[in-house]
Amino acid sequence: MEKKYVKELFQFIEDSPTAFHAVDTMKKILERNGYQGLLESEKWKLADGGKYYVTRNGSSLIAFRIPSADFKGFQIMAGHSDSPCLKIKENPDMRVEQAYIKLDAEKYGGMLCGSWFDRPLSAAGRLMVRDNNRIRMKLVNVDRDLLMIPSLAIHMNREANDGYKYNVQKDMPPLYKMYAGGEQESFMEMIAREAGVKEEDILGSDLYVYNRMQGSVWGAGGEFISMGRLDDLECVYSSLTGFLDAEDGYGVPVHCVYDNEEVGSSTRQGAASTFLADTLFRICESFGMSGTDYRRRLALSLMASADNAHAVHPNYPDKSCPSNRPIINQGIVIKFSGNQRYTSDAVSAALFRGICEMAEAPVQEFTNRSDMLGGSTLGNISGTQVAVNCVDIGLPQLAMHSSYETAGVKDLEYLIRAAKIFYESSVEETGFGEYRIFRKEKR
């Protein structure tokens, strides 16, 4: 199973060079599994046993299915579709020395700049294209080695190994092509050609640079996996796989993927938006439920915010907390923080541990060093819109926000197993401070 999952994960990431492609990849998988797409602008008529998905901005997606109209709460697992990278600016062509054309690009999210140099890159994203009297979204992926950011030779910067401060404007415009004189095909003309549209019909674009390096399984025992965008497509893929494998329970399983986690989530389609709240409310509304019915179901809900976690680094073991030290291939990480940037607390951790026990998936814990400010993620941000019990989890990884990240083969299967049981479960508060996790009896 491990090998099958790794292969599928690599394919999933390869098909998803940007958040738009990740949503498109999920749409195709969901449709193959009988899920029906809903538009937010339409009236929803949901049915018992129905399987649905809805997207926002083409870069966030929520999939759910209705076991029966008298469902209990929602079992929500949330990940994110975006990863740190370079965003290609409008009018990006920059000529150098009548010899080269490079592209103007800026940072998207907290990227590790050094990891983008000296490796094959390309461009992908979405175009808004005029098509008769409509404007249509079209995805584009230049599926070949197209760009490179060459390092400066050590001879020209002898201090390069003594710590270097990257200036994205100066150091990181990707080299695109040789300039041959006269009128040249612009970058956007090339993109139009790749997309099979006319350049003058492109009215808008969101284009990004991505790492072309293939996924790799490595280590003496083949125990590691490396690829770009493991944060957070590894969790997204695991959640989706568990979601599709799960059998019906008493609750509504909700696979939720937000865009813009890497830039603070405060967009129309980010975790701070109303996307999840709107969707859950509309599910209840479609079955004629009242606001109270909706809130009662939220009280019966559990959310797992699934975003990768920092494993102890072999060269920097001192950077991890002395007490809680996640290790690759030793299980799903539950993340805690005193300032509640991670939402896990005794209740949500207990419920999630109970689910992992049923799934026979090991868990380990992450806390920050007390003298280091950690990152934030989806759970606490989303919780301001949809107030449900929430646990922050993730898979242990190294080199987070590098263009080529490293994780463990075993952990992938652990999360898939846990996600399946998570989606089959329901959680009930049976009294003050008293909870029950239950699943449907297997016939």
Residue closer to Zn ion (CB basis): 219 or 375: 375
What the block records as the tokens of 173 is: 């415009």
Cβ 197 to Zn ion shortest distance, Å:
33
Residue closer to Zn ion (CB basis): 269 or 426: 269
Half-sphere exposure in the Cβ direction for 425 (13 Å, CA): 28
One character per residue 224-253, x = contact with Zn ion (rule: CB under 5 A) = -------xx---------------------
One character per residue 192-231, x = contact with Zn ion (rule: CB under 5 A) = ---------------------------------------x
User: Rounded distance, CA 135 to CA 204, Å?
Assistant: 10
Cβ 323 to Zn ion shortest distance, Å:
23
**153-183: buried (b, 16+ CB within 10 Å) or exposed (e) per residue?**
eeeeeeeeeeeeeeeeeebbbbbbbebeeee
Return the residues of window 314-373 that contact Zn ion according to CB under 5 A.
none
Return the residues of window 302-321 that contact Zn ion according to CB under 5 A.
307
Cβ 232 to Zn ion shortest distance, Å:
4
Q: Read off the amino acid at residue 251.
A: G
Residue closer to Zn ion (CB basis): 297 or 310: 310
Q: Is 392 in the site for Zn ion (CB under 5 A)?
A: no
Cβ 45 to Zn ion shortest distance, Å:
35
Cβ 441 to Zn ion shortest distance, Å:
37
Q: Check if the beta carbon of residue 331 is closer than 8 Å to that of residue 300.
A: no
Cβ 400 to Zn ion shortest distance, Å:
7
User: Rounded distance, CA 443 to CA 441, Å?
Assistant: 6
Q: How far is CA 225 from CA 12, 135, 177, 203, 217, in A?
A: 14, 40, 32, 39, 5
Return the residues of window 98-137 that contact Zn ion according to CB under 5 A.
none
Cβ 230 to Zn ion shortest distance, Å:
9
Q: Which stretch binds Zn ion (CB under 5 A): 109-117, 286-294, 300-308, 380-388?
A: 300-308
Q: Check if the beta carbon of residue 93 is closer than 8 Å to that of residue 381.
A: no
Residue closer to Zn ion (CB basis): 231 or 392: 231
Binding-site size for Zn ion (CB under 5 A) equals 3
Cβ 27 to Zn ion shortest distance, Å:
21
Residue closer to Zn ion (CB basis): 232 or 424: 232
Q: How far is CA 408 from CA 46, 163, 266, 379, 381, in A?
A: 39, 29, 31, 24, 28
Residue closer to Zn ion (CB basis): 231 or 405: 231
User: Rounded distance, CA 280 to CA 143, Å?
Assistant: 37
User: Rounded distance, CA 230 to CA 327, Å?
Assistant: 16
Residue closer to Zn ion (CB basis): 102 or 335: 335
Residue closer to Zn ion (CB basis): 56 or 229: 229
Residue closer to Zn ion (CB basis): 192 or 419: 419
User: Rounded distance, CA 131 to CA 372, Å?
Assistant: 52
One character per residue 257-296, x = contact with Zn ion (rule: CB under 5 A) = ----------------------------------------
Cβ 307 to Zn ion shortest distance, Å:
4
Cβ 261 to Zn ion shortest distance, Å:
6
Residue closer to Zn ion (CB basis): 14 or 262: 262
Site residues for Zn ion per CB under 5 A: 231-232, 307
